[in-house]
Amino acid sequence: MRVVGLVISIGVLLVEALLIFRGAQRRSLKSFPLLFAYLVYDFCATASGYVVYWVRPEWYASVYWFCYVLSILVEFAVLVEISDHLFRPFPALRNLGRAITLTASAGFGVSYVLPALVTAQGSRGALLSFALRTSLTKAAILIALFLAARHFELKFEKGVAGLMLGLSIYQGTNVANLAAARAISPALYAGVLWVVSPAAYILCLLVWTAALWHFAPMPLVGPPAEIGKNSPEAVALGLARFNNNLSRFLHR
């Protein structure tokens, strides 16, 4: 299991490097700054972990768990990125969406995630509960963003849809995997965790790579003069008006 997990982890590094290179080549870094900042962090953290493993193997466990917990928190940046792009045509709504995403993340973290570190028995149980509750929080925020986009009939760019699909696969697999580990036994399930989580992440990265390979942002086009009452253009016009009113309110 450890050999398979090691091979998958190296595959993760290769796909991340490819995605970062393609982003620089296509100049997608400016369009998705938080996403690529997360990818660069994860690449550097994983590569540094392997260096520590070869140079100072006695430090590896501590470094690995520190980077793992930090990466769980840094992943929230991808949710903020998705929120920004969903409301990209409406700057005031985009700022409001970012504020709601950050506030919801912080609220879930304080009320739901952090108590797992206090109530769990032992360090392994605490880390498992922390990872599970964090994944559930991300999944809930992702569902909320999707429902908001559907409610306002916002158009999904290919890149944003790919981000949501890949992250949904990763977080959904993590929730099922961590819940199974908690129900069975972390010690007995450790080998499966070592393989399934990196495998789900590399699948997420492959979806992101496919979605962003030929990424081009949709032009910001205003609604036409004559539109139907219940048409998508009418919804866009209503959002534009709400965005303007919200902008005036925030500038007072």
178-207: pLDDT as tens digits: 888 777 766 666 667 778 888 899 999 999
Asked whether residue 232 is domain-assigned, the answer is no
Asked whether residue 230 is domain-assigned, the answer is no
Which residue, 244, 214, 193, is CA-closest to 26? 214
Output the pLDDT for position 15.
95
Which residue, 162, 160, 189, 159, is CA-closest to 176? 189
140-166: pLDDT as tens digits: 889 888 888 887 777 788 889 999 999
Percent with pLDDT over 70 in the chain: 69
Q: What's the rounded Cα separation, in Å, for the pair 210 and 162?
A: 8
Neighbouring C-beta atoms of residue 165, cutoff 10 Å: 16
Which residue, 220, 246, 247, 240, is CA-closest to 85? 220
Residue 184 identity (one-letter amino acid): I
Give the total number of structural domains in the chain. Answer: 1
Asked whether residue 226 is domain-assigned, the answer is no
Asked whether residue 249 is domain-assigned, the answer is no
The model's confidence at residue 209, banded by pLDDT at 50, 70 and 90, is very high
Could you give the 3-state DSSP secondary structure of residue 44?
helix
Output the pLDDT for position 204.
95
Q: What is the pLDDT of the chain when averaged over all its residues?
A: 77
Domain at 149, CATH number: 1.20.1070
Output the pLDDT for position 228.
42
The model's confidence at residue 117, banded by pLDDT at 50, 70 and 90, is low
Asked whether residue 243 is domain-assigned, the answer is no
Neighbouring C-beta atoms of residue 104, cutoff 10 Å: 17
Asked whether residue 157 is domain-assigned, the answer is yes
Per-residue pLDDT at 20 exceeds 90: yes
Q: Could you tell me the pTM of the whole model?
A: 0.78
Per-residue pLDDT at 123 exceeds 80: no
Asked whether residue 14 is domain-assigned, the answer is yes
Which domain covers residue 32, as residue numbers? 2-216
For the four alpha carbons of 206, 204, 180 and 129, in that order, the dihedral sign comes to positive
Asked whether residue 239 is domain-assigned, the answer is no
Which residue, 19, 5, 7, 4, is CA-closest to 206? 19
50-69: pLDDT as tens digits: 899 889 888 877 887 788 77
78-94: pLDDT as tens digits: 998 998 888 776 666 66
